[in-house]
Amino acid sequence: MKKIYTLECCVDSVESAVRAKEGGADRLELCANLVIGGTTPTLALFEQIRETVDIRIHALIRPRFGDFLYSSHETEIICREIRAFRQAGAEGVVIGALKPDGSLDVERMKRFIDCAGGMSVTLHRAFDMCRDPFAALQQAKELGVNTILTSGQAPSCVAGLSRMKELAAAAGGDITILAGAGINADAVKTLLAQTTLTAFHMSGKKVLSSGMTYRNPDVSMGLPGMSEYEIWQTDPQNVRAVRSLLDNAALSSI
């Protein structure tokens, strides 16, 4: 039986969305501020991409940089954002919340999923920050989460290869394990050879130089150690290299 492989690209601009689709991505995880791990995108960005690119969009809902321990105010913001993207026509949301002890915040997750209605739900890499990933996986199953984005609680999915295998086995057919962090053609070759994973998440980014010809040498408004004259953008060639590997793997599975 032919396997179905899914390639998701995380993007934070219309330009990256266009290039992800050009490279063969199946869907987008739409974010803002990928340089800090991603935050909730604007509805205007979503609408512009929806008008420009015919591709499935899952919106990251993360109100701020940092941990996944949310206040009551932040919880309300997340709920409002989920409802707003559902009404705008997003096909999915990417969410997560933890308790202080590192366990999955099941009650907040229930609220978020209720707000999502029938949208696809991905538990984002809050999963990688939890204390017991197998307990969190079981709770995610019970909540009806569709997908878990994870690196196997390691800096990259290849570094977390052993845990990724264990998670895929524990997930069975009930929930999709989406491999993320460090995904490129080399990583996918390794994962295809050594695991049963069928879903992959990448940015495929390259770093472009700003078009600014005047650059004030005395003022910096970027993050420490990072230049505001660098632009991260998806490279369709990086995406296409992974797409080719997945298509070949699908043909080999027939």
Asked if 135 and 103 touch (Cβ cutoff 8 Å), the reply is yes
pLDDT, tens digit, for every residue of 36-76? 899 999 999 999 999 999 999 999 999 999 999 999 999 99
Name the nearest CA neighbour of 17 among 204, 220, 245, 241. 204
pLDDT of residue 221: 79
Under the banding of pLDDT at 50, 70 and 90, the label for residue 227 is: confident
Rounded mean pLDDT, 196-220:
92
How many Cα neighbours within 13 Å face the side chain of 25? 33
pLDDT, tens digit, for every residue of 151-160? 999 999 999 9
Average pLDDT in the chain: 95
Asked if pLDDT for residue 254 goes beyond 80, the answer is no
CA distances from residue 204 to 86, 113, 172, 236 in whole angstroms, order as listed: 27, 29, 28, 7
Rounded mean pLDDT, 125-130:
96
Asked if pLDDT for residue 235 goes beyond 90, the answer is yes
How many Cα neighbours within 13 Å face the side chain of 229? 10
Rounded mean pLDDT, 87-114:
98
Asked if pLDDT for residue 219 goes beyond 90, the answer is no
Count of Cβ atoms closer than 10 Å to residue 236 Cβ? 21
Under the banding of pLDDT at 50, 70 and 90, the label for residue 173 is: confident
The rounded percent of the chain whose pLDDT value lies above 70 is: 100
Q: Which two tokens stand for residue 102?
A: 């590192």
Distance CA 165, CA 187 (A): 14
